[in-house]
Structure 1
Amino acid sequence: MRSQSEFLAAYSRDHQHPTNQLIHMICVPVIVFSTLGLLWCLQIGRWLGLPLEVAEYVNVATVGGLLAFGFYLKLSVRSALVMTGWFALSVVGILALGGAGWLLAAVCAGLWIAAWALQFYGHEVESAKPSFAEDLVFLLIGPLFVMEKVYRALGNRRVSHQA
């Protein structure tokens, strides 16, 4: 498996244009949130016969989140912790939407479609295919790319791929 530095360098090559970078800074978090929201709707806890107080939290999002955590942990502890925080914030938002009576699947589907449309527009501006066209694992690298940009904007010289 490639190192985090190698993944980020490859991802960065396809994301040089400032417009594409800005679109990614906005849309990658929206895509992560909305993807988790859609996966949250795929409940498996009840199917497994778990008690109701636990069952609602056992879904494709939480199971997938555990698998993604393992991937990020192989890259670096820092990345695993950052992405765990991102997952936790997303879950708070998901639970808030549900608690407010919003149709989680409909909201997340709309956000997901709009964010992906903008992402593809960004790649049109860039004149480059999305990185995941080369390797699907780049779908997990996008959030790390965003976090690296945030670290640099905050003046942190120790970027995400230097665990």
Structure 2
Amino acid sequence: MSSYFRRQLAEYVEYHRDPWNCAMHVFGIAFLFLAAVLPLSLWPITVFGFQTSAATIAVVPVLIYWFLLDFALGAAILGAAIMLLSVAAVIVSHATTAGMWSLTAILIVVGVASQIVGHRVFERRQPALVDNPTHLLLGPMFVMAKLFIALGFRRDLAIIIQGQPRGATS
């Protein structure tokens, strides 16, 4: 874990203390990611002889960024991204263009609404990205870090996010 990521995560956590807000983020982030890649999944691209989509190409830089912040979390997010890119590919292969755009709009509305509700209702403060726009890219890392901690992995992340590892006594 880079020291930059450690500092950013510690700052991000201050905006995400309420468990309901964190739950809203799981859905909101997944919906917004899917909404971002869905339209790009319409455009096939051939790279080095392999058929892919503009969505896959667009995701690569942010995946590299996440790997650089923390390799294990980045690898887990890669797995989630592959799943969401696959879902997007299935949707565009079965939906009309109008249907795909309608679904994209719904995903954006529900994704943004879940973030707003999480912060306004449960956290009672503005989202972290209002104060620091780079936090837009930390959401997926935070959600994956919470999953790792819940599964009993990454005591180093638990110290940052929870203040002490689960099961530790003061």
TM-score bracket relative to the smaller structure: 0.7 to 0.9
Q: CA deviation at 1:146?
A: 0.8
CA distance 1:157–1:69, change in 2 (3 Å): closer
- What residue is the counterpart of 2:91 in the other structure? 97
**Unaligned segments of structure 1, at least 5 residues:** none
> For the aligned residues, what is the CA RMSD?
2.8
CA distance 1:86–1:116, change in 2 (3 Å): same
Percent identity over the alignment is: 22
Counterpart mapping for 1:72-111 below 5 A: 72-101=66-95, 103-111=99-107
Query: 1:152 touches 1:159 (CA, 8 Å); kept in 2?
Result: no
CA distance 1:31–1:160, change in 2 (3 Å): farther
1:36-79, CA deviations, whole angstroms, 9 ceiling, x for partnerless residues? 223434x3849xxx8xx83xx341x2232111022112212223
Q: What SS does the aligned partner of 1:137 have?
A: helix
Q: CA deviation at 1:144?
A: 1.1
Q: CA deviation at 1:2?
A: 6.0
What is the TM-score of this pair, normalised by structure 1?
A: 0.79
1:125-156, CA deviations, whole angstroms, 9 ceiling, x for partnerless residues? 21221111123221211011111111122222
Q: CA deviation at 1:84?
A: 1.5
Counting strand residues as a fraction of each chain, which structure ranks higher?
Answer: 2
Distance of 1:127 and 1:86 partners within structure 2: 29
Q: Count residues with an aligned counterpart.
A: 155
What is the TM-score of this pair, normalised by structure 2?
A: 0.76
CA distance 1:90–1:161, change in 2 (3 Å): farther
Distance of 2:129 and 2:152 partners within structure 1: 29
Q: CA deviation at 1:108?
A: 2.1
**Unaligned segments of structure 2, at least 5 residues:** 160-170
Distance of 1:95 and 1:131 partners within structure 2: 31
